[in-house]
A and B are shown apart, each in its own frame.
Chain A
Amino acid sequence: EIVLTQSPGTLSLSPGERATLSCRASQSVTSTYLAWYQQKPGQAPRLLIFGASSRATGIPDRFSGSGSGTDFTLTISRLEPEDFAVFYCQQFETSPWTFGQGTKVEIK
């Protein structure tokens, strides 16, 4: 099973700041098979990024994904008030498909 470790656990930032979230895999993940999601309290996760760097439909361009192999990054260039939430990376490389434990981005 591929274990995805996200860091930091919590990121305290102010609106307008840049957020950089890390996802490290226990074994190599093909970029095609790496996705990022945002989840707000009481809601289902929302797809942000698929294929490591492709934005899903309707996702603002302040969200970007990068990385390869075992290290992937989600960057939010300038945080908007609605961006504060929990973010998860997820892999489709091998079964079982797994999620990271999440990074909470909170308002400082």
Chain B
Amino acid sequence: QVQLQESGPGLVKPSETLSLTCIVSGGSISNYYWSWIRQSPGRGLEWIGYIYYSGTTKYNPSLESRVTISVDTSNNQFSLKLSSVTAADTAVYFCAKTSTMARGVIYYAFDIWGQGTMVTVSS
């Protein structure tokens, strides 16, 4: 059973870069899409972007200028960098597997989630 675990600093200073890593265990990172999603009381659940194991990415246009998602297939993990953070970026950040298969067909779905990590932006 695939499991995901986020890691990274819980406190980031304004204007600095937020960096998180998601380690995939119990299965291969290959052949799937992987996303970052965040949740805050003011913004609800917000999809940040995804990466395919081959490196193809797609980002939320509202964050695209500040986001980079990368993949490290040799270590079965993927990462998020969000630059120039402000207090509005304070949230719980989740990583999620972004596709599932049923009856031989691949569907988009956030079918497996990490437990989430709280990131606070504050000086």
List residues of A whose CB falls within 8 A of some B CB.
32-33, 35, 37, 43-47, 50-51, 54, 56-57, 88, 90, 92, 95-99, 101-102
Contact = CB atoms under 8 A, between A and B. Distances in A.
Contacts of B60: 95-97
Of A90, A95, A96, A101, which is in contact with the most chain B CB atoms at under 10 Å from its CB? Answer: A96
Interface stretch (B20-28, B70-78, B105-113): B105-113
Contacts of A44: 94, 96, 113-116
Contacts, number: 60
B73 to A, nearest CB: 23
Interface of B: 44-47, 58, 60-62, 94, 96, 100, 102, 107-116
B104 to A, nearest CB: 13
Question: What's the dominant secondary structure at chain B's contact region?
Answer: strand
B113 A56 contact: no
Contact of A102 (B44, B96, B111, B113): B44
15 contacts: A33-B108, A35-B108, A43-B115, A44-B94, A44-B114, A50-B100, A50-B108, A51-B102, A57-B111, A90-B45, A95-B61, A97-B60, A99-B46, A99-B47, A101-B44
